[in-house]
A and B are shown apart, each in its own frame.
Chain A
Amino acid sequence: MRHPRILVFSGSIRGGSYNTQLAAFVAKQLVLADADVTRISLADYPMPLYDGDQEREKGAPESAHKLKRLMQEHQGVFIACPEYNTAITPLLKNTLDWLSRLNDPGEPAAAAFKGRIFAIGAASTGALGGIRGLIGTRTILEVGLGAFLIPEMVMVPNAADAFDDKGDLRNERSMASLDAMVKRFLSETRARA
């Protein structure tokens, strides 16, 4: 069986970010399930705040082109999405918005978001596990960018105590939501590998 290639990153670059911990754990579970995982940090893909004037004068930043091409080498993309004031982080939104502007001749608009499967999850110190931010992010990805997003999401509430020393999830409910997400993610990405 072919191993689906899956790209994993977090919408936060803060040292000790709970969502980066979640991204690391999801990557590990995907590898254990035989996926070929690439984990990156958005810190390595810096982009200025989107500005239409700048785009017209200089085009999209090189990091956006690099990340777009990297996404296109994968059948699946998992994004751990921190919730800031009930919504997506500026870092992640800025990245998605720059990527949405890129398509080579012959490609559809927002090409990085087409032809692959997306999955999202969140870790939050609150009791709701970042679900409000995930709902908004779903709309951006699906309605805004035309991405195909699986319904299963992993949510990690009370994130400060959620991970054990090995970086595994302690909470059984979070673990169950992660297992369901990984299962569907693998079957959908395999169908495209």
Chain B
Amino acid sequence: MAHPRILVFSGSARTGSHNARLASLVGQRLGENGAEVSSISLRDFPMPLYDGDLENSEGVPENAVALKRLIQQHHGVFIASPEYNAGVTPLLKNVIDWISRVSEPSEPRMAAYKGRVFALGSASTSPFGGIRGLANLRLVLETGVGALVIPEMIAVPNAADAFDPSGGLANERAAASLSAMIRALIAEASLRMSKAA
């Protein structure tokens, strides 16, 4: 069986970010379960804050086009999404918004979000594990940009103590929901292997 390609990144570029650790763990587990994983940092795709005037005068930033094309080379995308004030981070929202503006003439609008499947997770120092931010992000992806998002999510509460020394999840419930999400993401990404480039 061929291996679905899955892109993994975090909505925070902060050094030591709990969500970057979560992204790293998810990438590792996806790899162990047969996916071909590309892990990136949004730090390598800097973009100015979205501004319609800027877009009119200079077009979409090159990094948005590059990231859009990279997404299109994958059958699945996992986003580790930090929660800032019950919502999505400005860094991640800005990336999603710029990418929503990029389509080739032959493509549907918001092309990066079509033809592949998305999965979400969050790590948070709060006892809720960032679930409010995830609900917000799900809405943006689904009703805003038309992405297909699997229902399985991984929410890691009390993130400062959540990872064991090897980078795994100490909490059994979180570990079980991680495994369920990994299985579902790989199954759904595999379904799309004939469709995506």
Residue A102, interface by CB 8 Å: no
Q: Is the CB of A138 within 8 A of B142?
A: yes
Q: Which of A138, A152, A191 is close to B146, meaning CB atoms less than 8 Å apart?
A: A152
Q: Chain A: which residue is nearest B142 at the CB level?
A: A151
| Residues of chain B within 8 A of A152, CB atoms compared | 146
| Residues of chain A within 8 A of B191, CB atoms compared | 191
Q: How many residues of A contact B (CB 8 A)?
A: 16
Q: Is the CB of B148 within 8 A of A147?
A: no
Q: Chain A: which residue is nearest B138 at the CB level?
A: A142
| Residues of chain A within 8 A of B135, CB atoms compared | 139, 143
In the assembly, what is the distance between CA of A184 and CA of B141, in Å?
Answer: 16
A136-163 interface with B by 8 A CB criterion: 138-139, 142-143, 146-153
Interface residue SS majority, chain A = mixed
In the assembly, what is the distance between CA of A191 and CA of B146, in Å?
Answer: 19
Q: How many residues of B contact A (CB 8 A)?
A: 16
Q: Is the CB of A142 within 8 A of B151?
A: yes
Residue A43, interface by CB 8 Å: no
Residue B149, interface by CB 8 Å: yes
| Residues of chain A within 8 A of B141, CB atoms compared | 151
| Residues of chain A within 8 A of B149, CB atoms compared | 142, 151
Q: Is the CB of B146 within 8 A of A147?
A: no
Residue B23, interface by CB 8 Å: no
Q: How far is the CB of A118 from chain B (nearest CB, A)?
A: 9
Residue A127, interface by CB 8 Å: no
In the assembly, what is the distance between CA of A188 and CA of B116, in Å?
Answer: 12
Q: Chain B: which residue is nearest A180 at the CB level?
A: B146
The interface of chain A, by Cβ under 8 A from chain B, is 135, 138-139, 142-143, 146-153, 184, 188, 191
A142-B149, A191-B191 known; 9 other A-B pairs, CB under 8 Å? A138-B143, A142-B138, A142-B151, A143-B131, A147-B151, A148-B150, A151-B141, A151-B148, A152-B146
Q: List 20 A-B contacts (CB under 8 A).
A: A135-B139, A135-B143, A138-B138, A138-B139, A138-B142, A138-B143, A142-B138, A143-B138, A143-B153, A146-B152, A148-B150, A148-B151, A149-B151, A150-B148, A151-B142, A151-B147, A151-B148, A151-B149, A184-B148, A188-B148
